[in-house]
Structure 1
Amino acid sequence: MTSTAPALSAVPSTLRIPLAARALGARLFPNMAVDDRYAAAALARMGDDGAQWLQDRQSVYGTLARTQVFRATGQAFLARHPHATVANLGCGLSDYLQWLDNGDMQMIDADLPEVMTIRRELSPARHARHRLLELDLTAADWWDALGLPTSRDADPVMLMSEGVFMYLQPDTVTAVLQTFAERAPAGSVFTFDAMCWLSIGRAKQHTSVKHTDAQFHWGPRRENELNQLHPRLHLAASQQVMGDYNLFYRYLQPLFKALTGVPLYAIYRLEVSA
Protein backbone atom coordinates (compact mmCIF):
# COMPACT_ATOMS: atom_id res chain seq x y z
CA MET A 1 0.00 0.00 0.00
CA THR A 2 1.33 3.43 -0.86
CA SER A 3 1.68 6.13 1.72
CA THR A 4 -1.56 7.86 0.73
CA ALA A 5 -4.73 7.95 2.76
CA PRO A 6 -7.11 5.20 1.57
CA ALA A 7 -10.71 6.24 1.05
CA LEU A 8 -12.98 5.03 3.83
CA SER A 9 -16.68 5.51 4.40
CA ALA A 10 -18.05 7.45 7.36
CA VAL A 11 -17.70 5.20 10.38
CA PRO A 12 -14.58 3.30 9.22
CA SER A 13 -12.83 6.62 8.70
CA THR A 14 -12.93 7.20 12.46
CA LEU A 15 -10.31 4.45 12.94
CA ARG A 16 -7.62 7.10 12.41
CA ILE A 17 -8.52 8.80 15.70
CA PRO A 18 -7.56 5.97 18.09
CA LEU A 19 -4.72 4.89 15.80
CA ALA A 20 -3.11 8.33 16.07
CA ALA A 21 -3.68 8.41 19.82
CA ARG A 22 -1.92 5.09 20.34
CA ALA A 23 0.87 6.03 17.96
CA LEU A 24 1.56 9.55 19.20
CA GLY A 25 -0.45 10.16 22.34
CA ALA A 26 2.49 9.63 24.67
CA ARG A 27 3.80 12.99 23.47
CA LEU A 28 0.87 14.64 25.21
CA PHE A 29 0.39 12.20 28.10
CA PRO A 30 3.65 10.34 28.84
CA ASN A 31 2.20 8.72 31.95
CA MET A 32 -0.65 7.24 29.88
CA ALA A 33 1.54 5.61 27.21
CA VAL A 34 0.30 2.18 26.11
CA ASP A 35 3.50 1.27 24.21
CA ASP A 36 1.77 0.18 21.02
CA ARG A 37 4.47 -1.39 18.86
CA TYR A 38 2.56 -1.16 15.59
CA ALA A 39 0.38 1.96 15.56
CA ALA A 40 3.00 4.48 14.38
CA ALA A 41 3.99 2.43 11.35
CA ALA A 42 0.36 1.82 10.38
CA LEU A 43 -0.48 5.51 10.70
CA ALA A 44 2.51 6.48 8.55
CA ARG A 45 1.62 3.97 5.85
CA MET A 46 -1.84 5.50 5.71
CA GLY A 47 -0.22 8.82 4.87
CA ASP A 48 -1.41 10.45 8.09
CA ASP A 49 0.98 12.39 10.32
CA GLY A 50 -1.59 12.45 13.14
CA ALA A 51 -1.33 16.22 13.64
CA GLN A 52 -5.05 16.84 13.15
CA TRP A 53 -6.04 14.22 15.70
CA LEU A 54 -3.51 15.33 18.32
CA GLN A 55 -5.32 18.66 18.52
CA ASP A 56 -8.11 16.81 20.29
CA ARG A 57 -6.40 16.21 23.62
CA GLN A 58 -9.54 14.80 25.24
CA SER A 59 -9.93 12.07 22.62
CA VAL A 60 -6.23 11.22 22.79
CA TYR A 61 -6.45 10.85 26.56
CA GLY A 62 -9.72 8.93 26.31
CA THR A 63 -8.26 6.48 23.80
CA LEU A 64 -5.19 5.81 25.94
CA ALA A 65 -7.31 5.41 29.08
CA ARG A 66 -9.80 3.06 27.46
CA THR A 67 -7.00 1.04 25.84
CA GLN A 68 -5.63 0.38 29.30
CA VAL A 69 -9.05 -0.80 30.50
CA PHE A 70 -9.71 -3.07 27.51
CA ARG A 71 -6.19 -4.48 27.78
CA ALA A 72 -6.52 -5.16 31.52
CA THR A 73 -9.95 -6.72 31.05
CA GLY A 74 -8.61 -9.05 28.38
CA GLN A 75 -5.59 -10.02 30.44
CA ALA A 76 -7.75 -10.76 33.49
CA PHE A 77 -10.15 -12.86 31.41
CA LEU A 78 -7.31 -14.87 29.87
CA ALA A 79 -5.76 -15.41 33.29
CA ARG A 80 -8.97 -17.30 34.15
CA HIS A 81 -9.42 -18.89 30.70
CA PRO A 82 -5.98 -19.12 29.05
CA HIS A 83 -7.22 -21.08 26.00
CA ALA A 84 -10.19 -18.81 25.33
CA THR A 85 -11.13 -16.87 22.21
CA VAL A 86 -11.09 -13.08 22.28
CA ALA A 87 -13.00 -11.39 19.44
CA ASN A 88 -12.52 -7.69 18.70
CA LEU A 89 -15.66 -6.53 16.87
CA GLY A 90 -15.01 -3.42 14.80
CA CYS A 91 -11.29 -3.76 15.37
CA GLY A 92 -10.15 -1.03 12.96
CA LEU A 93 -6.36 -1.04 13.12
CA SER A 94 -6.12 -1.70 16.85
CA ASP A 95 -3.76 -4.50 17.83
CA TYR A 96 -4.65 -6.05 21.17
CA LEU A 97 -2.94 -9.32 20.29
CA GLN A 98 0.41 -7.72 21.13
CA TRP A 99 -0.74 -7.39 24.75
CA LEU A 100 -3.00 -10.44 25.12
CA ASP A 101 -1.21 -13.28 23.37
CA ASN A 102 -0.28 -15.90 25.95
CA GLY A 103 0.68 -18.57 23.43
CA ASP A 104 -2.61 -20.46 23.84
CA MET A 105 -5.47 -18.00 23.28
CA GLN A 106 -7.33 -17.49 19.99
CA MET A 107 -7.76 -13.94 18.60
CA ILE A 108 -10.34 -12.76 16.10
CA ASP A 109 -10.02 -9.26 14.65
CA ALA A 110 -13.13 -8.43 12.65
CA ASP A 111 -14.51 -5.39 10.86
CA LEU A 112 -16.26 -4.27 7.69
CA PRO A 113 -14.71 -5.50 4.42
CA GLU A 114 -13.25 -2.10 3.49
CA VAL A 115 -11.42 -1.97 6.82
CA MET A 116 -10.19 -5.55 6.62
CA THR A 117 -8.72 -4.92 3.17
CA ILE A 118 -6.49 -2.26 4.74
CA ARG A 119 -5.88 -4.32 7.85
CA ARG A 120 -4.61 -7.31 5.89
CA GLU A 121 -2.16 -5.05 4.10
CA LEU A 122 -0.89 -3.18 7.15
CA SER A 123 -1.26 -5.80 9.87
CA PRO A 124 -1.75 -9.35 8.56
CA ALA A 125 -2.61 -12.31 10.78
CA ARG A 126 0.35 -13.13 12.98
CA HIS A 127 -0.11 -16.90 13.33
CA ALA A 128 -2.64 -19.71 13.06
CA ARG A 129 -4.37 -18.64 16.30
CA HIS A 130 -5.07 -15.21 14.84
CA ARG A 131 -7.94 -14.76 12.38
CA LEU A 132 -8.91 -11.66 10.39
CA LEU A 133 -12.57 -11.80 9.39
CA GLU A 134 -15.17 -9.63 7.74
CA LEU A 135 -17.99 -8.55 10.02
CA ASP A 136 -21.37 -6.91 9.61
CA LEU A 137 -23.04 -6.42 12.98
CA THR A 138 -26.33 -5.62 11.26
CA ALA A 139 -26.44 -9.18 9.86
CA ALA A 140 -28.42 -11.69 11.91
CA ASP A 141 -25.77 -14.39 11.43
CA TRP A 142 -22.73 -12.42 12.62
CA TRP A 143 -22.12 -14.81 15.53
CA ASP A 144 -21.87 -17.85 13.26
CA ALA A 145 -19.89 -15.91 10.65
CA LEU A 146 -17.14 -15.43 13.24
CA GLY A 147 -17.13 -19.11 14.16
CA LEU A 148 -18.05 -18.42 17.77
CA PRO A 149 -19.29 -21.28 19.98
CA THR A 150 -22.39 -23.13 18.84
CA SER A 151 -23.13 -24.48 22.32
CA ARG A 152 -23.65 -22.79 25.67
CA ASP A 153 -21.62 -25.64 27.17
CA ALA A 154 -18.45 -24.53 25.41
CA ASP A 155 -15.66 -22.56 27.06
CA PRO A 156 -16.36 -18.87 27.73
CA VAL A 157 -15.41 -16.27 25.14
CA MET A 158 -14.61 -12.59 25.45
CA LEU A 159 -16.02 -10.09 22.99
CA MET A 160 -14.85 -6.51 22.90
CA SER A 161 -15.99 -3.58 20.81
CA GLU A 162 -14.14 -0.29 21.07
CA GLY A 163 -15.37 2.97 19.58
CA VAL A 164 -18.18 1.19 17.73
CA PHE A 165 -21.49 1.06 19.58
CA MET A 166 -22.08 4.82 19.54
CA TYR A 167 -22.23 4.69 15.73
CA LEU A 168 -24.74 1.83 15.57
CA GLN A 169 -28.50 2.18 15.39
CA PRO A 170 -30.28 1.34 18.68
CA ASP A 171 -31.98 -1.73 17.20
CA THR A 172 -28.60 -3.06 16.09
CA VAL A 173 -27.06 -2.61 19.54
CA THR A 174 -30.02 -4.39 21.12
CA ALA A 175 -29.83 -7.26 18.63
CA VAL A 176 -26.06 -7.69 19.05
CA LEU A 177 -26.26 -7.83 22.83
CA GLN A 178 -29.26 -10.17 22.76
CA THR A 179 -27.42 -12.50 20.39
CA PHE A 180 -24.46 -12.51 22.75
CA ALA A 181 -26.75 -13.25 25.70
CA GLU A 182 -28.55 -16.02 23.85
CA ARG A 183 -25.55 -17.73 22.25
CA ALA A 184 -22.54 -17.20 24.51
CA PRO A 185 -21.38 -19.87 26.96
CA ALA A 186 -21.81 -19.09 30.65
CA GLY A 187 -19.04 -16.89 31.99
CA SER A 188 -18.51 -15.11 28.67
CA VAL A 189 -17.80 -11.37 28.72
CA PHE A 190 -18.68 -8.52 26.38
CA THR A 191 -16.84 -5.25 26.97
CA PHE A 192 -17.63 -2.07 25.05
CA ASP A 193 -17.45 1.69 25.46
CA ALA A 194 -20.34 4.10 25.02
CA MET A 195 -21.24 7.73 25.45
CA CYS A 196 -24.56 8.54 27.06
CA TRP A 197 -27.72 9.22 25.07
CA LEU A 198 -27.15 12.98 25.15
CA SER A 199 -24.44 12.56 22.52
CA ILE A 200 -26.89 11.20 19.93
CA GLY A 201 -26.90 13.35 16.80
CA ARG A 202 -24.08 15.56 18.03
CA ALA A 203 -21.04 14.19 16.23
CA LYS A 204 -20.37 17.56 14.61
CA GLN A 205 -19.71 18.94 18.09
CA HIS A 206 -16.97 16.36 18.69
CA THR A 207 -13.51 17.81 18.05
CA SER A 208 -12.29 14.82 16.02
CA VAL A 209 -15.38 13.03 14.74
CA LYS A 210 -16.64 16.25 13.13
CA HIS A 211 -13.91 15.79 10.50
CA THR A 212 -15.62 12.58 9.37
CA ASP A 213 -19.16 11.92 8.14
CA ALA A 214 -19.89 9.62 11.07
CA GLN A 215 -22.80 10.27 13.42
CA PHE A 216 -23.63 9.13 16.97
CA HIS A 217 -26.83 7.06 17.05
CA TRP A 218 -26.86 5.19 20.36
CA GLY A 219 -26.05 5.67 24.01
CA PRO A 220 -27.62 4.15 27.13
CA ARG A 221 -30.21 6.18 29.01
CA ARG A 222 -29.94 4.09 32.17
CA GLU A 223 -27.39 1.47 33.13
CA ASN A 224 -30.20 -0.83 34.18
CA GLU A 225 -31.48 -1.05 30.61
CA LEU A 226 -28.51 -3.27 29.78
CA ASN A 227 -29.66 -5.78 32.41
CA GLN A 228 -33.13 -5.89 30.90
CA LEU A 229 -32.12 -7.03 27.42
CA HIS A 230 -32.03 -10.75 28.27
CA PRO A 231 -32.48 -12.92 31.39
CA ARG A 232 -28.92 -14.30 31.09
CA LEU A 233 -27.31 -10.90 30.72
CA HIS A 234 -26.12 -8.73 33.59
CA LEU A 235 -23.96 -5.65 33.93
CA ALA A 236 -20.86 -6.69 35.84
CA ALA A 237 -19.13 -3.30 35.82
CA SER A 238 -19.07 0.17 34.34
CA GLN A 239 -15.95 2.29 34.46
CA GLN A 240 -15.83 5.97 33.66
CA VAL A 241 -13.00 6.83 31.30
CA MET A 242 -12.21 10.52 31.70
CA GLY A 243 -12.20 10.94 35.47
CA ASP A 244 -8.46 11.60 35.76
CA TYR A 245 -8.21 13.87 32.73
CA ASN A 246 -8.65 16.99 34.85
CA LEU A 247 -10.48 18.25 37.92
CA PHE A 248 -13.49 19.28 35.87
CA TYR A 249 -14.07 15.71 34.69
CA ARG A 250 -13.23 14.26 38.08
CA TYR A 251 -16.05 16.20 39.73
CA LEU A 252 -18.39 16.48 36.75
CA GLN A 253 -18.76 12.79 36.02
CA PRO A 254 -20.12 11.65 39.43
CA LEU A 255 -22.53 14.58 39.40
CA PHE A 256 -23.59 13.83 35.84
CA LYS A 257 -24.30 10.20 36.67
CA ALA A 258 -26.22 11.18 39.80
CA LEU A 259 -28.43 13.50 37.75
CA THR A 260 -28.91 11.34 34.66
CA GLY A 261 -28.48 7.78 35.94
CA VAL A 262 -25.79 6.96 33.41
CA PRO A 263 -22.10 7.88 32.99
CA LEU A 264 -21.12 10.56 30.51
CA TYR A 265 -18.69 8.15 28.84
CA ALA A 266 -17.85 4.72 30.18
CA ILE A 267 -16.68 1.20 29.47
CA TYR A 268 -19.28 -1.45 30.25
CA ARG A 269 -18.65 -5.12 30.98
CA LEU A 270 -21.54 -7.50 30.48
CA GLU A 271 -21.48 -11.15 31.51
CA VAL A 272 -23.79 -14.07 30.80
CA SER A 273 -24.96 -16.57 33.37
CA ALA A 274 -25.79 -20.25 32.88
Structure 2
Amino acid sequence: MPSTLRIPLAARAHGDALFPQVAIGDVHARAWLDAIGDDGQDWLDDRPSVYGVLARTRVFRERALDYLARHPAGQVVNLGCGLSHYFQWLDNGRCRMVEGDLEEVVAIRRQLPGGGPDGRRHRLAVLDIGQPGWWDRLGLAPDRQGAPVFLMCEGVLMYLPPATVRGILAEFGARAPAGSVFVFDALSGLASGNARLHASVRHTAAEFSWGPLRIAELTAPHGRLQLEAVHMVMEGYDPLYAVMGHSFRLFMGVPFYALYELHAQHAAGG
Protein backbone atom coordinates (compact mmCIF):
# COMPACT_ATOMS: atom_id res chain seq x y z
CA MET A 1 0.00 0.00 0.00
CA PRO A 2 1.36 3.45 -0.86
CA SER A 3 2.51 5.07 2.38
CA THR A 4 1.05 8.40 1.31
CA LEU A 5 -2.40 6.86 1.90
CA ARG A 6 -1.58 6.22 5.53
CA ILE A 7 -0.58 9.76 6.46
CA PRO A 8 -4.02 11.44 6.05
CA LEU A 9 -5.81 8.35 7.34
CA ALA A 10 -3.81 8.44 10.58
CA ALA A 11 -4.50 12.16 10.91
CA ARG A 12 -8.24 11.66 10.50
CA ALA A 13 -8.24 8.72 12.90
CA HIS A 14 -6.34 10.36 15.75
CA GLY A 15 -6.08 14.07 14.99
CA ASP A 16 -9.32 15.23 16.61
CA ALA A 17 -7.87 14.64 20.07
CA LEU A 18 -4.71 16.57 19.20
CA PHE A 19 -6.44 19.50 17.50
CA PRO A 20 -10.06 19.74 18.68
CA GLN A 21 -10.35 23.20 17.12
CA VAL A 22 -10.28 21.60 13.66
CA ALA A 23 -11.84 18.24 14.59
CA ILE A 24 -13.71 16.51 11.76
CA GLY A 25 -15.45 13.54 13.40
CA ASP A 26 -14.51 10.90 10.83
CA VAL A 27 -16.48 7.77 11.82
CA HIS A 28 -14.55 5.45 9.48
CA ALA A 29 -10.89 6.42 9.82
CA ARG A 30 -10.04 4.56 13.05
CA ALA A 31 -11.57 1.29 11.84
CA TRP A 32 -9.88 1.62 8.46
CA LEU A 33 -6.51 2.27 10.06
CA ASP A 34 -6.95 -0.82 12.24
CA ALA A 35 -8.01 -2.86 9.21
CA ILE A 36 -4.77 -2.12 7.34
CA GLY A 37 -2.71 -2.98 10.43
CA ASP A 38 -1.38 0.49 11.18
CA ASP A 39 -1.79 2.12 14.58
CA GLY A 40 -0.93 5.49 13.03
CA GLN A 41 1.64 6.41 15.66
CA ASP A 42 4.53 6.71 13.20
CA TRP A 43 2.75 9.60 11.48
CA LEU A 44 1.48 11.51 14.52
CA ASP A 45 4.85 13.00 15.46
CA ASP A 46 4.48 15.26 12.43
CA ARG A 47 1.98 17.52 14.16
CA PRO A 48 1.82 20.20 11.43
CA SER A 49 0.81 17.58 8.87
CA VAL A 50 -1.86 16.16 11.17
CA TYR A 51 -3.27 19.65 11.65
CA GLY A 52 -3.04 20.33 7.91
CA VAL A 53 -5.00 17.20 6.99
CA LEU A 54 -7.80 18.09 9.39
CA ALA A 55 -7.88 21.74 8.33
CA ARG A 56 -7.94 20.94 4.63
CA THR A 57 -10.60 18.28 5.17
CA ARG A 58 -12.80 20.94 6.72
CA VAL A 59 -12.27 23.22 3.72
CA PHE A 60 -13.01 20.50 1.15
CA ARG A 61 -16.12 19.52 3.12
CA GLU A 62 -17.29 23.12 3.49
CA ARG A 63 -16.87 23.88 -0.21
CA ALA A 64 -18.70 20.70 -1.20
CA LEU A 65 -21.55 21.46 1.21
CA ASP A 66 -21.76 24.99 -0.18
CA TYR A 67 -22.16 23.53 -3.67
CA LEU A 68 -24.82 21.06 -2.45
CA ALA A 69 -26.74 23.86 -0.74
CA ARG A 70 -27.16 25.34 -4.23
CA HIS A 71 -27.52 22.00 -6.04
CA PRO A 72 -28.99 19.46 -3.59
CA ALA A 73 -29.19 16.73 -6.23
CA GLY A 74 -25.78 17.60 -7.65
CA GLN A 75 -22.82 15.45 -8.63
CA VAL A 76 -19.72 15.36 -6.40
CA VAL A 77 -16.53 13.81 -7.72
CA ASN A 78 -13.46 12.90 -5.66
CA LEU A 79 -10.48 12.44 -7.98
CA GLY A 80 -7.78 10.31 -6.37
CA CYS A 81 -9.96 9.61 -3.35
CA GLY A 82 -7.42 7.47 -1.50
CA LEU A 83 -8.74 6.33 1.87
CA SER A 84 -10.96 9.34 2.52
CA HIS A 85 -14.73 9.03 3.01
CA TYR A 86 -16.45 12.34 2.33
CA PHE A 87 -19.83 10.80 1.60
CA GLN A 88 -20.34 10.37 5.35
CA TRP A 89 -20.58 14.17 5.59
CA LEU A 90 -22.07 15.06 2.21
CA ASP A 91 -24.93 12.60 1.84
CA ASN A 92 -28.10 14.69 1.91
CA GLY A 93 -30.33 11.94 0.56
CA ARG A 94 -30.28 13.35 -2.96
CA CYS A 95 -26.72 14.03 -4.13
CA ARG A 96 -24.62 11.63 -6.17
CA MET A 97 -20.96 10.98 -5.51
CA VAL A 98 -18.33 9.11 -7.49
CA GLU A 99 -14.87 8.45 -6.08
CA GLY A 100 -12.05 7.37 -8.37
CA ASP A 101 -8.55 6.09 -7.83
CA LEU A 102 -6.05 3.55 -9.11
CA GLU A 103 -7.10 -0.10 -9.17
CA GLU A 104 -4.87 -0.94 -6.20
CA VAL A 105 -6.48 1.73 -4.05
CA VAL A 106 -10.04 0.87 -5.05
CA ALA A 107 -9.35 -2.79 -4.21
CA ILE A 108 -8.19 -1.79 -0.73
CA ARG A 109 -11.23 0.44 -0.25
CA ARG A 110 -13.62 -2.38 -1.10
CA GLN A 111 -12.07 -4.58 1.60
CA LEU A 112 -12.47 -2.00 4.38
CA PRO A 113 -15.52 -1.92 6.65
CA GLY A 114 -17.91 0.56 5.06
CA GLY A 115 -15.35 1.28 2.36
CA GLY A 116 -17.48 0.24 -0.57
CA PRO A 117 -20.24 2.30 -2.19
CA ASP A 118 -23.08 3.27 0.14
CA GLY A 119 -25.77 2.78 -2.50
CA ARG A 120 -26.84 3.77 -5.98
CA ARG A 121 -25.93 7.42 -5.33
CA HIS A 122 -22.38 6.56 -4.28
CA ARG A 123 -19.95 4.60 -6.44
CA LEU A 124 -16.25 3.78 -6.64
CA ALA A 125 -14.47 3.81 -9.99
CA VAL A 126 -11.05 2.59 -11.09
CA LEU A 127 -9.39 5.70 -12.51
CA ASP A 128 -5.97 6.95 -13.45
CA ILE A 129 -6.45 10.71 -13.40
CA GLY A 130 -3.12 11.10 -15.15
CA GLN A 131 -4.57 9.62 -18.34
CA PRO A 132 -6.55 12.02 -20.57
CA GLY A 133 -10.24 11.22 -20.96
CA TRP A 134 -11.00 10.79 -17.25
CA TRP A 135 -14.10 12.99 -17.59
CA ASP A 136 -15.80 10.55 -19.94
CA ARG A 137 -14.51 7.47 -18.13
CA LEU A 138 -16.28 8.69 -15.00
CA GLY A 139 -19.50 9.23 -16.96
CA LEU A 140 -19.73 12.92 -16.09
CA ALA A 141 -21.83 15.51 -17.94
CA PRO A 142 -21.54 14.73 -21.69
CA ASP A 143 -21.66 18.40 -22.65
CA ARG A 144 -21.47 21.87 -21.13
CA GLN A 145 -25.25 22.24 -21.07
CA GLY A 146 -25.63 19.93 -18.08
CA ALA A 147 -25.94 20.80 -14.42
CA PRO A 148 -22.79 22.05 -12.64
CA VAL A 149 -20.62 19.44 -10.93
CA PHE A 150 -18.28 19.67 -7.95
CA LEU A 151 -14.84 18.12 -8.22
CA MET A 152 -12.25 17.77 -5.50
CA CYS A 153 -8.71 16.44 -5.62
CA GLU A 154 -6.92 16.10 -2.30
CA GLY A 155 -3.24 15.39 -1.82
CA VAL A 156 -2.74 14.23 -5.41
CA LEU A 157 -1.72 16.89 -7.89
CA MET A 158 1.55 17.79 -6.18
CA TYR A 159 2.86 14.30 -6.99
CA LEU A 160 2.07 14.47 -10.73
CA PRO A 161 4.22 15.85 -13.57
CA PRO A 162 3.44 19.47 -14.49
CA ALA A 163 2.23 18.56 -17.97
CA THR A 164 -0.19 16.03 -16.47
CA VAL A 165 -1.62 18.62 -14.07
CA ARG A 166 -2.07 21.11 -16.89
CA GLY A 167 -3.92 18.42 -18.83
CA ILE A 168 -6.25 17.70 -15.90
CA LEU A 169 -7.09 21.38 -15.48
CA ALA A 170 -7.56 21.76 -19.23
CA GLU A 171 -9.95 18.80 -19.35
CA PHE A 172 -12.02 20.32 -16.56
CA GLY A 173 -12.07 23.65 -18.39
CA ALA A 174 -13.06 22.07 -21.68
CA ARG A 175 -15.73 19.69 -20.41
CA ALA A 176 -17.32 21.07 -17.25
CA PRO A 177 -20.76 22.71 -17.43
CA ALA A 178 -20.77 26.39 -16.52
CA GLY A 179 -20.76 26.93 -12.78
CA SER A 180 -18.86 23.73 -12.04
CA VAL A 181 -16.30 23.87 -9.25
CA PHE A 182 -12.89 22.22 -8.92
CA VAL A 183 -11.14 22.43 -5.54
CA PHE A 184 -7.64 21.03 -5.07
CA ASP A 185 -4.64 21.54 -2.82
CA ALA A 186 -1.14 22.42 -3.95
CA LEU A 187 2.27 23.25 -2.61
CA SER A 188 4.33 26.05 -4.09
CA GLY A 189 6.46 24.98 -7.03
CA LEU A 190 9.49 25.62 -4.80
CA ALA A 191 8.65 22.38 -2.99
CA SER A 192 9.09 20.31 -6.16
CA GLY A 193 11.90 17.80 -5.78
CA ASN A 194 12.13 18.44 -2.04
CA ALA A 195 9.96 15.75 -0.46
CA ARG A 196 13.00 14.77 1.60
CA LEU A 197 12.41 17.92 3.64
CA HIS A 198 8.84 16.95 4.57
CA ALA A 199 8.62 15.28 7.97
CA SER A 200 6.19 12.59 6.81
CA VAL A 201 6.51 12.29 3.04
CA ARG A 202 10.27 11.77 3.28
CA HIS A 203 9.53 8.33 4.74
CA THR A 204 7.68 7.30 1.60
CA ALA A 205 8.73 6.77 -2.01
CA ALA A 206 6.76 9.83 -3.15
CA GLU A 207 8.23 13.04 -4.57
CA PHE A 208 6.70 16.47 -5.05
CA SER A 209 6.63 17.20 -8.78
CA TRP A 210 4.23 20.08 -9.39
CA GLY A 211 3.13 23.30 -7.79
CA PRO A 212 2.39 26.81 -9.03
CA LEU A 213 5.09 29.45 -9.01
CA ARG A 214 2.56 32.05 -10.18
CA ILE A 215 -1.18 32.20 -9.58
CA ALA A 216 -1.78 32.67 -13.31
CA GLU A 217 -0.55 29.12 -13.92
CA LEU A 218 -3.77 27.76 -12.42
CA THR A 219 -6.05 29.29 -15.06
CA ALA A 220 -3.65 29.20 -18.01
CA PRO A 221 -4.57 25.66 -19.18
CA HIS A 222 -8.00 26.75 -20.45
CA GLY A 223 -9.77 30.05 -21.11
CA ARG A 224 -12.90 29.04 -19.16
CA LEU A 225 -11.02 28.64 -15.90
CA GLN A 226 -11.53 31.30 -13.26
CA LEU A 227 -9.82 31.34 -9.88
CA GLU A 228 -12.67 31.95 -7.46
CA ALA A 229 -10.85 31.63 -4.13
CA VAL A 230 -7.63 30.69 -2.39
CA HIS A 231 -8.22 28.90 0.91
CA MET A 232 -5.37 29.05 3.39
CA VAL A 233 -4.82 26.01 5.58
CA MET A 234 -1.85 26.15 7.93
CA GLU A 235 -2.09 29.68 9.29
CA GLY A 236 -4.24 28.50 12.21
CA TYR A 237 -1.62 26.02 13.42
CA ASP A 238 0.25 28.61 15.47
CA PRO A 239 1.24 32.31 15.24
CA LEU A 240 4.61 31.49 13.67
CA TYR A 241 2.94 29.61 10.82
CA ALA A 242 0.60 32.56 10.31
CA VAL A 243 3.51 35.00 10.00
CA MET A 244 5.55 32.67 7.80
CA GLY A 245 2.58 31.93 5.57
CA HIS A 246 1.74 35.58 5.09
CA SER A 247 5.37 36.50 4.41
CA PHE A 248 5.87 33.67 1.91
CA ARG A 249 2.76 34.64 -0.05
CA LEU A 250 3.72 38.31 0.03
CA PHE A 251 7.20 37.76 -1.37
CA MET A 252 6.60 34.77 -3.65
CA GLY A 253 3.15 35.67 -4.96
CA VAL A 254 1.65 32.26 -4.12
CA PRO A 255 1.04 30.51 -0.79
CA PHE A 256 3.45 27.80 0.25
CA TYR A 257 0.42 25.54 0.67
CA ALA A 258 -3.24 26.26 0.01
CA LEU A 259 -6.47 24.99 -1.49
CA TYR A 260 -7.48 26.55 -4.79
CA GLU A 261 -11.04 26.85 -6.05
CA LEU A 262 -11.51 27.05 -9.81
CA HIS A 263 -14.86 27.69 -11.50
CA ALA A 264 -15.80 26.94 -15.11
CA GLN A 265 -17.13 30.00 -16.89
CA HIS A 266 -19.86 30.03 -19.53
CA ALA A 267 -17.47 30.50 -22.43
CA ALA A 268 -13.75 30.86 -22.98
CA GLY A 269 -12.75 34.29 -21.79
CA GLY A 270 -16.32 35.11 -20.72
Asked if TM exceeds 0.5, the reply is yes
- Equivalent AA in structure 1 for residue 31 of structure 2: A
1:114: which partner in 2? Answer: 104
1:98: which partner in 2? Answer: 88
1:86: which partner in 2? Answer: 76
1:263: which partner in 2? Answer: 255
Please report the RMSD computed on the Cα atoms of aligned residues, expressed in angstroms: 0.8
2:48: which partner in 1? Answer: 58
Counterpart CA distance in 2 for 1:227 and 1:31 is 33
2:171: which partner in 1? Answer: 179
Displacement over 6 Å in runs of 4+: none
Counterpart CA distance in 2 for 1:34 and 1:234 is 29
- 1:243 is paired with a residue whose SS is helix
Counterpart CA distance in 2 for 1:118 and 1:230 is 35
Aligned pair 1:240/2:227, yes or no? no
How many corresponding residue pairs?
Answer: 264
Counterpart CA distance in 2 for 1:180 and 1:13 is 28
When structure 1 is superposed on structure 2, of 176-185 and 222-231 the one drifting more is 222-231
Counterpart CA distance in 2 for 1:176 and 1:240 is 22
1:4: which partner in 2? Answer: none
Normalised to the residue count of structure 2, the TM-score between the two structures is: 0.96
When structure 1 is superposed on structure 2, of 19-28 and 60-69 the one drifting more is 19-28
When structure 1 is superposed on structure 2, of 171-180 and 250-259 the one drifting more is 250-259
- 1:140 is paired with a residue whose SS is coil
Counterpart CA distance in 1 for 2:21 and 2:131 is 40
- How many Å apart are 1:72 and its aligned residue? 0.3
Aligned pair 1:204/2:196, yes or no? yes
2:182: which partner in 1? Answer: 190
Aligned pair 1:254/2:246, yes or no? yes
Aligned pair 1:217/2:209, yes or no? yes
Counterpart CA distance in 1 for 2:157 and 2:202 is 17
Structure 1 unpaired stretches of 5+: 1-7
Q: Is the 8 Å Cα contact of residues 100 and 106 (structure 2) preserved in structure 1?
A: yes
Q: Deviations over 1:183-223 (max 9, x none)?
A: 00000000000010111011111111111100000000111
- How many Å apart are 1:27 and its aligned residue? 2.2
- 2:98 is paired with a residue whose SS is strand
1:5: which partner in 2? Answer: none
Q: Is the 8 Å Cα contact of residues 167 and 221 (structure 2) preserved in structure 1?
A: no
Counterpart CA distance in 2 for 1:86 and 1:217 is 27
2:39: which partner in 1? Answer: 49
- How many Å apart are 1:42 and its aligned residue? 0.2
Normalised to the residue count of structure 1, the TM-score between the two structures is: 0.95
Counterpart CA distance in 2 for 1:41 and 1:29 is 20
- Equivalent AA in structure 2 for residue 98 of structure 1: Q
- 1:191 is paired with a residue whose SS is strand
Counterpart CA distance in 2 for 1:58 and 1:245 is 7
- Equivalent AA in structure 1 for residue 252 of structure 2: T
Structure 2 unpaired stretches of 5+: none
